[in-house]
Amino acid sequence: MSSENIATILHVDMDAFYASVEERDNPKLKGKPVVVGAGIRGVVSAANYEARKYGIHSAMPIFRAKTLAPHAVFITPDLEKYSAVSKEVMQIFNDVTPYVEPISLDEAFLDVTGAKRLLGSGRDIADLIRKRVEKEQGITCSVGIAHNKFIAKIASAACKPNGVLEIDPAKMLDFLHPLAASQIWGVGAKTNEQLAKMGLFTVADIANTPRNTLIKILGQASGASLYELAWGRDYRDVITEHIEKSISASETFSFDIDKQEEILKEYLRLTEKVAERMREKNLAANTITIKVRFADFKTITRSKTLDLPTTGTQEIFEVVKALYLALNLDRALIRLVGVGLDSLVENEDLQQMVLGQRDSGWRQVDRAVDLVKEKFGRSSLRPARLVSEDDEDNSG
């Protein structure tokens, strides 16, 4: 196969995205360790490279980050600002190729195989993107170039920050096999521990292990996938249109609480938040999940799959409430709660003319509420249970 016929995939990843945007907007932060994360009881959303020198990383508890670098600058996340920057960055990608698959606010896969005819080689296109992102948004990104998504993503991680790395398909295994096994997709802490017990520490170790052995130890799906990836085989296309699989939100309390009324009040607020986001995207949920994290950081989740997908805030909250009450926590101290809507499908908004169809009343209420909030702001209309005493005092 000629080089012209080989796919060229880019993985573009912003460098310390949230922190970089904050540094851009406040030049006084340059050269200082910057950590983006909410509250002493929250977790790190992003850390710039200065902060990472102290061992700070994403998902680390804020209190731990402050212990490691008490002199660092800690900033509350501004998701609306980051989302706005992300849209501008994604537009740069779409100017290059229509085949863009966003993975999150700060990264995406691009298939530039066809774009090479007009814009040059994969490296030329990567350089073009990096220059535009820096000039137009004032931040930097790293780009991995390869013939498939898996290798491109590993390449972008290997050239951070502000770098570009192209992996020649003929030399792919020379690049891939010396890497640690943990760099393969799907190898988390538990899987990595299992692999270590088998004496498998590098990608080469996995590649040279019989496929059936991996399947026997890790299961059919994980074992087979791991074997294929260890040989650099990834046949997935760049998907330009896809339905979000889940929408979730969580809240870490300012202090551990055990009062059922307060916990359910927070679950209602989170339910409102995720249900609105889901309806904005014209989706419906098949599965509802709650998360509970205790004072000792132990975390549990519980889910329920519905007979029919739903868009209704009230219906979702009734399931959330039932899932929580079924835990019988007996005044256990709780640190965080979360609500997730999973197995999302497109909401065709059709009347379900079948036995057991849902009453449309709550759906109409939700639609009216969404319209009011769209016009007057999200805080303009809320359930009475979510109106604080301060709000009531200020209303007079």
Q: How far apart are the C-alpha atoms of 248 and 339, rounded to whole Å?
A: 6
Residue 17, judged by CB atoms within 10 A of its CB (0-12, 13-18, 19+), counts as buried
What does the chain come to in residues?
A: 396
Bridge partners (DSSP) listed for residue 316: none
Please state the separation of Cα 160 from the chain's center in Å: 20
Q: Is 234 annotated as a binding residue?
A: no
142, 163 contact by CB (below 8 A): yes
Q: How far apart are the C-alpha atoms of 319 and 180, rounded to whole Å?
A: 42
Q: How far apart are the C-alpha atoms of 167 and 280, rounded to whole Å?
A: 40
10 Å Cβ neighbour count for 381? 13
Q: How far apart are the C-alpha atoms of 362 and 358, rounded to whole Å?
A: 9
Give catalytic residue positions.
107
141-146, strands of its sheet edge to edge:
100-104, 107-111, 9-14, 141-146, 164-166
Tokens standing for residue 344: 């999302």
Q: How far apart are the C-alpha atoms of 392 and 383, rounded to whole Å?
A: 13
13, 160 contact by CB (below 8 A): yes
Q: Is 205 annotated as a binding residue?
A: no
Q: How far apart are the C-alpha atoms of 335 and 340, rounded to whole Å?
A: 17
> Letter for the amino acid at 309?
P
* C-alpha distance from residue 68 to each of 25, 35, 52, 172 (Å): 25, 12, 10, 38
| DSSP structure class, residue 338 | E
201, 181 contact by CB (below 8 A): yes
63, 75 contact by CB (below 8 A): no
Helical ranges in 231-356 per DSSP H: 260-280, 313-325
List, as residue ranges, the binding site for Mg(2+). 13, 106
List, as residue ranges, the binding site. 13, 106
